[in-house]
Amino acid sequence: MGHCLRQGMIVLDENIIAGQRTQLRQWRIPFRQIGVELAGQGAEDPQILPLLLRLKQPTFFTRDFDFFKPHFCHPRYCLA
């Protein structure tokens, strides 16, 4: 697993399917999920970006194609 994942926090978007969350739990990989432990349910993209900047080395996993736009890139978080 990559260095940034071992050191930082894994953040899952609301759109990550249950099977993937279950697999992470089985592997004992800690994570937080938008709409559950972080932010409110239905949080919009503009609310998620400031949240990522407040976390220590977050890696944000999403299926939302908007986050693949270059203007969302920032050196303080990883988008996957």
Q: Give pLDDT, residue 7.
A: 64
Q: Give pLDDT, residue 5.
A: 45
**Look-up of token digits 């970006």:** 49
Neighbours of 15 (CB within 10 A): 11
Our measurement of the distance from residue 72's CA atom to the centroid of its chain's CA atoms, rounded to an integer in Å, reads 13
CA dihedral defined by 43, 60, 15, 25, rounded to 10 degrees?
-120
42-65 burial: b if 16+ Cβ within 10 Å, else e: eeeeeebeebbeebeebbbbbeee
For residue 67, what is the DSSP state? G
Residuewise pLDDT in 10s, the chain (80 residues): 444 445 678 999 888 888 999 999 999 999 999 888 877 777 777 788 888 888 888 998 988 877 777 878 888 888 88
Q: Give pLDDT, residue 47.
A: 82
Q: Give pLDDT, residue 2.
A: 46
